[in-house]
Amino acid sequence: MKTLAADSAQKTNQGKIINDFSIQVATVNGSGSQSSNTVLMRSIFQMGIPVSGKNLFPSNIAGLPTWFTIRVNKDGWVARKKEIDILVAMNPQTAIDDVKALRPGAICVSPVELNLNKIRDDVQHYLVPFTELAAQASDNIKLRKLLTNMIYVGVVAELLDIDQAEIDVAIGRQFEGKGKAIDLNLAAAAKGREWTKANLKKEDAYYVERMNKTAGKIIIDGNAAAALGCLFAGATVVTWYPITPSSSLCETLSDYMEEYRVDKKTGKASYAIIQAEDEIAALGMALGAGWAGARSMTSTSGPGISLMGEFTGLGYFAEIPTVIFDVQRVGPSTGMPTRTAQADLISAYQLSHGDTKHIVLLPGSVEECYSLALEAFDLAERFQTPVFVLSDLDLGMNNWMSDPFKYPEKPMDRGKVLDKDQLEKLGKFERYRDVDGDGIPYRTLPGTDHPLAAYFTRGSGHNEKAAYTEKSEDYINLMERLDKKYQTARKYVPKPVLHLSKDAKVGIVAFGSSDPAILESVDQLKSASMPVSYLRVKALPFTEELRKFVEQHDRVYVVEQNRDRQMRDLITLEMPDLATKLKSIRHYNGLPVDARSVTDAILEQER
Amino acid sequence: MVDAVVKPQGTPAPKTNRIGLTLADYKGAPSTLCDGCGHDAITSQIIKACYDLGVSPHMVAKMSGIGCSSKTPAYFLSQAHGFNSVHGRMPSVATGVAMANKNLQILAVSGDGDTASIGLGQFCHIVRRNVPMVYLVENNGVYGLTKGQFSATAEKGAKLKSGVQNELQSIDLCGLAIELGCGFVGRSFAGDPKQLVALLKAAMSHKGTAVLDVISPCVTFNNHEGSTKSYKYAKEHEIPLHELGYVPFFEQITVDYEPGSVQEVAMHDGSKLTLKKTERNYDPTNREKAAATIVEANQNKQFLTGLLYIDESKNSFTDVMHLEDHPLATLPAEQTRPGKEVLQEIMKSLM
- Share above pLDDT 70 across residues of chain B, in percent, rounded to a whole number: 97
Cis peptide before A451 (omega within 30 of 0): no
pLDDT at residue B42, rounded to an integer: 98
Domain spans, chain B: 23-241+280-320
pLDDT above 90 for A91: yes
pLDDT at residue A59, rounded to an integer: 86
**Rounded alpha-carbon distances, angstroms, from residue A144 to A29, A134, A140, A147, B37:** 16, 5, 6, 5, 74
pLDDT above 70 for A491: yes
Residue type, A363: P
CB A111 within 8 A of CB A47: no
pTM tops 0.80: yes
pLDDT at residue B12, rounded to an integer: 82
pLDDT above 70 for A3: no
CB atoms near residue A94 (< 10 Å): 18
Q: How far apart are CA A162 and CA A156, in angstroms?
A: 8
- Which of A258, A407, A424 is most worth mutating to test chain B (most B CB atoms within 10 A of its CB)? A407
Helices (H) and strands (E) in chain A, counts: 21, 23
- Share above pLDDT 90 across residues of chain B, in percent, rounded to a whole number: 88
Check B93 against A278: CB less than 8 A apart: no
Cβ neighbours of B68 in A, within 8 Å: none
pLDDT at residue A9, rounded to an integer: 37
How many angstroms away from the CA of B94 is the closest CA of chain A? 6
pLDDT at residue B3, rounded to an integer: 53
pLDDT at residue B8, rounded to an integer: 59
pLDDT above 60 for A576: yes
Q: B251: pLDDT confidence band, cut at 50, 70 and 90?
A: confident
Per-residue pLDDT tens over the stretch A292-351? 999 999 999 999 999 999 999 999 999 999 999 999 999 999 999 999 999 999 999 999
How many angstroms away from the CA of A100 is the closest CA of chain B? 37
Check A293 against B84: CB less than 8 A apart: no
CB-nearest to A446 from B81, B324, B338 is B81
pLDDT at residue A4, rounded to an integer: 40
Cβ neighbours of A467 in B, within 8 Å: 29
A290 SS3 class: helix
Mean pLDDT for A105-117 is 96
Cβ neighbours of B74 in A, within 8 Å: 456, 468
A278 touches chain B (CB under 8 A): yes
A124-128 and A107-111 strand pairing? parallel
Per-residue pLDDT tens over the stretch B287-299? 999 999 999 999 9
**Rounded alpha-carbon distances, angstroms, from residue A586 to A302, A550, A562, A607:** 19, 19, 6, 19
Span B23-241+280-320: which CATH code?
A: 3.40.50.970
Residue A125 region, left (φ>0) first, then alpha (ψ -120 to 50), else beta? beta
Residue type, A103: R
Check A447 against B101: CB less than 8 A apart: yes
Backbone φ and ψ for A235, nearest 5 degrees, come out as -60, 140
Check B325 against A268: CB less than 8 A apart: yes
pLDDT above 80 for A8: no
pLDDT above 70 for A14: no
Nearest residue to A433 via CA among A393, A465, A392, A462: A465
pLDDT at residue B268, rounded to an integer: 87
Check A457 against B337: CB less than 8 A apart: no
pLDDT above 90 for A10: no
pLDDT at residue A5, rounded to an integer: 40
Mean pLDDT for A276-294 is 98
Query: Which of A:326-385 have CB within 8 Å of B?
Result: none
How many angstroms away from the CA of A230 is the closest CA of chain B? 9
Check A405 against B337: CB less than 8 A apart: no
Q: Which residue of A has its CA nearest to B98?
A: A289
Check A457 against B94: CB less than 8 A apart: no
Check B94 against A276: CB less than 8 A apart: no
Lowest mean pLDDT among A53-57, A332-336, B7-11, B169-173: B7-11
A504 touches chain B (CB under 8 A): no
Cis peptide before A245 (omega within 30 of 0): yes
pLDDT at residue A7, rounded to an integer: 42
Cβ neighbours of B327 in A, within 8 Å: 292-293, 447
Q: Which residue of B has its CA nearest to A451?
A: B79
Higher pLDDT, A600 or A12: A600
pLDDT above 90 for A62: no
Q: How far apart are CA A120 and CA A3, in angstroms?
A: 13
Q: A1: pLDDT confidence band, cut at 50, 70 and 90?
A: very low
CB-nearest to B95 from A218, A288, A314 is A288
How many angstroms away from the CA of A262 is the closest CA of chain B? 9
pLDDT above 50 for B171: yes
Q: How far apart are CA B70 and CA B138, in angstroms?
A: 9
How many angstroms away from the CA of A112 is the closest CA of chain B? 37
Query: Which of A:458-487 have CB within 8 Å of B?
Result: 458-460, 467-468
pLDDT above 80 for B122: yes
Q: What is the DSSP letter of B289?
A: H
pLDDT above 80 for B11: no
Q: How far apart are CA A288 and CA A376, in angstroms?
A: 18
Question: What integer best gives the mean pLDDT of chain B?
Answer: 94
Q: How far apart are CA A525 and CA A64, in angstroms?
A: 38
Mean pLDDT for A415-437 is 98
pLDDT above 60 for B1: no
Sign of CA dihedral A95, A100, A103, A105: positive
